[in-house]
Structure 1
């Protein structure tokens, strides 16, 4: 089963995404870049979903930049997920290295289609 990483600090959103993906993917969920490095940095993911507003020393955009600088994850597809729908935020996310920018709330179908698209593209 393919693995996805979800970096999201809202517990409700974590539970919702876990339920959405449980049939199709093995999901690892963390709430910060620090937690990722402690628990999941040695794993390979087919897609990462990273929220802009996460706990810890780095926000989601800074974490995306970091991921793009690591040899083992630099080509992993990343979806930037956020409640911030401003055009500038979209530009910042894509400039940070995100492959797709999706605003919350998002339909389950839309999120699954985005993941399928990124997997097929790689």
Structure 2
């Protein structure tokens, strides 16, 4: 089964993602940049969903940038999913290395389609 990492600090959003993706993915969750480095930075995933605003020392954009410069992770698709919905936020996400930017709230069908698209593109 494919593996997904969701980096999201909102518990309710985590539960929605769990229900949405549990059929097709083994889903891991972390809620901060610190937890990512402690528990998940050495893992490989088929796709990552990353929130921009996180607890911890670094933002989701920082994590995206750092993931994309690692040789064996640079091709991992990353969806940046955030409440920050201005054009500059989209630009910052793409420049950090996100493969797709989606603004919250996003309909479940759109998120499912985005994940399928990026997994199939990989």
Q: Deviation string for 1:6-54 (max 9, x for gaps)?
A: 0000111111111111111110000122211221223211110000111
Aligned residue pairs total 122
Whether 1:63 aligns to 2:52 is no
Say which SS state the counterpart of residue 17 (structure 1) adopts.
helix
Deviating 4+ runs (over 3 angstroms):
none
Whether 1:22 aligns to 2:22 is yes
CA distance in 1, matches of 2:117, 2:95: 20
- The 5-angstrom pairing of residues 1-122 of structure 1 reads 1-122=1-122
5+ residue gaps, structure 2, are none
CA distance in 1, matches of 2:70, 2:55: 21
5+ residue gaps, structure 1, are none
Shift of 1:70: 1.6
CA distance in 2, matches of 1:104, 1:21: 17
Say which SS state the counterpart of residue 62 (structure 1) adopts.
helix
TM superposition score normalised by structure 1: 0.95
